[in-house]
Structure formats: C-alpha cells, structure tokens
Structure 1
Amino acid sequence: MMSLRSIARNAPRALTRATAVTSTFRTTSNTLLRNARPATLFRPVQTASAFSTTVFRREPVNDTDAELSEKLAEELKYENAVKDGEMMPASIKDFLENGPFEIKDVPGSEDVILTRTYGDEKITVSFSIADLSNYSGQDNFDDDMALSDEQDGSESRESGTGAPELEREVDEEAGLEDEESIPCRLNIVIEKPGKGALNVEAVAQDGSIMVDNFYYYKDAKLAHSTDAAAVHAAGETYPGPVFGSLDEDLQMLIERYLEDRGITPALALFVPDYMDMKEQREYLAWLNNVKGFIDA
C-alpha cells in the first residue's frame, strides 16, 4: 500500500508549484536589481584600447543559492533516514523472487514494464508512478471540498440544524481509509505472432485487478506503440465494447483467462507497493541532481 508520506509530498506541492515559481523569479529579479551597481549598468564604451585585458570572473554564489543548497541537503538527510528505516514490502520481495515476470525499471523514467512469455504469447504489463502524482492532486482537491463541506456543516450545527458530531467522526475515519487505497492503472498487452494483440486496461486496487476495457487489434503494434501514426490508427480502429457491458459469464471467463497469464492478486499487491518504492527512489535522485546543479 502506498505511503502517506508520498501522497503528502506530492499533493500540496503540485498545487502550489505555480505560486512558488512566480515568487522565486520575483525574488531573484529583485535581488539582482539590488546588487547591480550603477557604474556597471551605465559603464561608458571604451574606444581607446585595441584589445581587452579583462579576465572573465565567475559571479559569486548569492545567498539564495546557499539557502537552497542547504534546504536540499536537509531534504536528502530526511529522505535517506526514512529509506534506511524501511524494509522492502513482502509483496515486492515475493513477486520478484517467485513471480513469472521480468521487470524493466529505468532510473529517471516514470514507467515500469513487466514482461513474460506464456506459450507462444508475449505478455507486457506497464504502469507509471505518474499516477501517484495525479491521484495526490485529485485527493488534495477532494480534501479542499471536504473542508468546505465541513465548514458548512459547522455553520449548520451552530444554527441547530447540523448532523451529530459522532457521524462526522465516522466520516473522517472512512475518509482516512479511502486515502490509503490508491488505484494504479495497468496497461496489459497479450500478443500472438501473426494474430494481433489483446489490449487490456485495468486497475490494481485493494489486492484486486479490475478490468475496465478489453480491446483487440489486428495489428499488434497498435496496442502499445507510442508512434504517432500507430496512435492515430488505433484511435480509428473499433477495439470492442466496454468491458462492463459484456455478459457476466463472459466477463468472468476473461478474468480467469488473465489470471492464467499472471494477472493475479499478487500482481495487484505488488504494483502499488513498487510504485511507492520507485517514487521514493526517483525523488532522492531528483534531490541529488538538483543539489549537484545548484552547487556546481
């Protein structure tokens, strides 16, 4: 299950990013104007010298650079301490050791890709840590709406028309439970040589795999290619009906078909935990890269 630490880090920063950037540019601009000397800004043009003897000098690091570097160091220290105090979840350890999939996780990339073969089939499962940031932003929006509703409820209680306090506490506890259950989107592709591919859009949540759409493409590359032409062609192809509109028995058999190929509850437990672990690792790398750039 994803850590609340990652959610808390992503949500507020996603919403305040624009304000923070604007403030930073304003502060930097004001600092430059304060530090600029009139003699430098309005230096007369030299016409007597045939060549220049001025040696290029690196501008000194200003106070903002030093403060930013120090803050980044604090963040690194904290995140490393958290990482050292955490153990690899059993769901990840068991899946990597006993699962049928090989994992491709490129440092710096948001996507994680799992691959395996099943008979003559090639099966690919992909997911992205971008879902964590997207969910956090929506979650923060929902919290703001809940806060507004709570304020309205408080006003109602003051007038004697609000719900009992006990009901509000129960709702808050239920909300905390919902925050910990983060849906993780899966893109599953099953290919057969010369037979095209099935493309399954699903969600891993609460230890279960829930199928949203079950497509078929005669040309396998339409199922997962990011090429612009392939994406356009896929958009013009009738892939099949919405999965939930299918006969219930047919839905059940398709789910069993996927389980036989490794789309199981073990995968549903692995994906959210691995997503959280990767997000933490990528955040640490980002902190190191930014600090290295600032200090250079």
Structure 2
Amino acid sequence: MLALRSFSRALPRSLSKSSMRCSQRPISTVHRSSLLQHPWKVASRPTYAAFSTSRSAREQEGEVDQELSAKIESELRIEKDIRDSEQYPSNVQEYLDNSPFELHDTPGQEEVVLTRQYGDETIRLTFSIADLNNMDQDPDQLSEDQALEDDFGDDHPADTQSGGAQTKGAINQGRTKGGNINVAPEDRIAPADREELADDESPSGEEGAEEPSFPTRINVTIQKPGKGCMQVETLATDGMIQIDNVYYYQNAELADAQTADLNWSKRNVYAGPPFGNLDEDLQVLVERYLDERGINTSLALFVPDYVDLKEQREYLSWLSSRPPSHLM
C-alpha cells in the first residue's frame, strides 16, 4: 500500500520535470524535429530564372505593333477613298428599284437573301460573298479552261467535227468516210483569233470590252402552303442563270435544314435526278418557270455586282472594328 502511494506521489513530479526539460529546449531544435512539424505546412514556392535575360516578359508594346497599326490605318484610308459614298452604284440601285425582290442584308454576315411573293408562293434566294473570297482562279483563266474543255471534251471524238462541215471558221484537215470535214483538235483556232469572226463575235476596239463577272451560286427555294418545297441550285455567270440541280421536298423544312436531325433526314430523301439528266423539253420549261418568277438575266447581272460591293463593305468594317485594331 505504501509502495503504491509513493508511486502515485512520485508520478506528478516526474511529469513536471519532463515538461520543464521540453520547454527548456531551443526553438531551433523543435523546428528540426520532424515529429513536431505540422503535416499541413505550406511549402515554399520555388523560384525560376527568367526565360529572357535581356528584357522583361512584361513588355508594354511589341516591336511590330506600331508598324501594324500604321498599315491598318493606311488600308482604311485606301478603302474609304475607293468607296467614297454610302449609296449603291447605279446598276445595283436600278435593279433594287425595279425588282420585285426585297433585299435582306445583315452587316457582318456573309449571306444575302432576296425574298418575294408570287401568287401563293414564297420565293427565297440566297447567295454569299464566300464565292468571291474562295475563288482560286481569275475569270480569264476560268474562261480558258472552259474553252479547253469544249475543245477536248470526252463527248466528242478527236477524228470528227462536232459542228459538221459547215462550221464557221473550221480548218480543213481532209474528209472522213461520211463526207464531213475532219478537224484535228490541235489545229483548231479560237474564235477570238480568227479574222473572219472578229466582226461577228467581239466589238471593234477596246471600248466594248467588259471585264467578265465571276460565277456566283444562287440557291432558290419556292414554297407553297401544304404542297412542299422545290429547291433549285443555280449559278449566275456571264449574265445567265445556269441550273445545276432541281430538288423537291414534301417537308419544306428539309430544303433549308437548320438542325442536325433535319440535315440527316435530308440526306436520306430522294429529291430527284440531276438537272442535266432530265428531258430537254422539261429543262426548257423549268428555265421558263424560273424566268417568270424573276430569276433571269437581270438577276444574273445584279448578284455578282452586289457580292463585290458587299465584300468591300465587310472588309472595311473588319478593318475598323475587328482585331487587331482593337488590341492596339
């Protein structure tokens, strides 16, 4: 019993002495003890040497900023001098004044829309300045390529003459068994280079020479209430409307599919054969059908002119209100 009592008395004294020893330890010793460190202590952030030793990375202005800004200002002045008026050119204004179509042009958008009512039909034409921006060749090169395709096309054999013996300007190269004059493709002369055709196919002098227009796609949709929609893909080129394809959709929403589901449904619908595969009389009637609705030569002349005008306006707007001008 005494031994237990002595032990209980000695225990508090020993604890107090040990606590005093701990309190008398140097602070540096406590810090060096890994057992007393908090596990959530924030680690010090490492420092790295700067990537560039010559200049700070926080430059206020780049070396090319001023030069680029001056170039943009120069482009703005040039474009404003070219387009000195907000009014339409006379040919564009004349078409808009006399055309049954209503123009819908949203600044900043590539697509332009023309709409009109024809009886109970709603007609919508769309074209885009992307056709001008995406041109890979100039019109002269396109014309030369088309001429070569006409001369060396696969549909005409090399040893016969497509137009027969009476073709104007043909060069005699002997006769075939059928009596027609044989014209070799490599010996044909372009009409513009033939003296006998100069008066017939081109105006005298350079006053009548006009710069050829670029081809522009025009998508035509004609919709009747409850009767579906017809969609016609056309090309305005050299003052003519060329029909590429004619489609018909019972669901009018498929003609101008705006969602992924409608676009997927449109792919699986048989909309009709290529226009060139139709009967020739049917092709002529479709052309007359469009002509009655104002899709004609006047439209084919207007669209390329308006595309060129809109592209200039959008470029000027881009220079004045888009980066990099806003960043400087």
| TM-score interval, smaller chain | 0.5 to 0.7
Is it true that 1:265 corresponds to 2:297 in the alignment? Answer: yes
Contact 2:213 2:304 in 1 (8 A): no
User: Structure 2 CA distance, aligned partners of 1:194 and 1:123?
Assistant: 15
More helix by share: 1
TM-score, scaled to structure 1: 0.66
Residue type matched to 2:81 in 1? A
Q: Deviations over 1:234-290 (max 9, x none)?
A: 111111111111111111111111111111111111100000000000010111123
Q: Which of these residues, 168, 173, 190, is aligned with residue 222 of structure 2? A: 190
Is it true that 1:292 corresponds to 2:325 in the alignment? Answer: yes
Q: Work out which structure has the larger RCO, using CA pairs closer than 8 Å and 6 or more positions apart in sequence.
A: 1
Residue 207 of structure 1: CA displacement? Answer: 1.1
TM-score, scaled to structure 2: 0.60
Q: Which of these residues, 213, 228, 231, is aligned with residue 260 of structure 2? A: 228
Counterparts of 1:85-100 in structure 2, within 5 Å, are 88-100=88-100
User: Structure 2 CA distance, aligned partners of 1:37 and 1:92?
Assistant: 60
Residue type matched to 1:253 in 2? L
Residue 294 of structure 1: CA displacement? Answer: 3.0
Tell me which residue corresponds to 2:80.
80
Residue type matched to 1:84 in 2? D
Tell me which residue corresponds to 2:278.
246
% same residue:
48
User: Structure 2 CA distance, aligned partners of 1:39 and 1:71?
Assistant: 26
Contact 2:235 2:243 in 1 (8 A): yes
Residue type matched to 1:223 in 2? A
Gaps of 5+ in 1: 1-34, 42-57, 147-162
Contact 2:123 2:222 in 1 (8 A): yes
User: Structure 1 CA distance, aligned partners of 2:115 and 2:267?
Assistant: 25
Counterparts of 1:36-55 in structure 2, within 5 Å, are 36-37=52-53
User: Structure 2 CA distance, aligned partners of 1:77 and 1:218?
Assistant: 52
Is it true that 1:211 corresponds to 2:231 in the alignment? Answer: no
Tell me which residue corresponds to 2:27.
none
Tell me which residue corresponds to 1:106.
106
* 1:178 to 1:224, Cα distance in 2 relative to 1, 3 A: farther
User: Structure 2 CA distance, aligned partners of 1:124 and 1:83?
Assistant: 29
Gaps of 5+ in 2: 1-50, 146-185, 194-201, 203-208
Tell me which residue corresponds to 2:163.
none
Q: Match of 1:63, SS?
A: coil
Q: Which of these residues, 232, 243, 248, is aligned with residue 200 of structure 1? A: 232
Residue type matched to 1:274 in 2? Y
Deviating beyond 2 angstroms after TM superposition, the runs of 4 or more aligned structure 1 residues are 35-41, 85-91, 137-140, 177-181, 289-292
Q: Match of 1:180, SS?
A: coil
Number of residues paired by the alignment?
220
User: Structure 2 CA distance, aligned partners of 1:97 and 1:254?
Assistant: 27
Q: Which has the larger radius of gyration?
A: 2
User: Structure 2 CA distance, aligned partners of 1:232 and 1:248?
Assistant: 32
Over the aligned positions, Cα root-mean-square deviation in angstroms equals 3.3
Residue type matched to 1:187 in 2? N
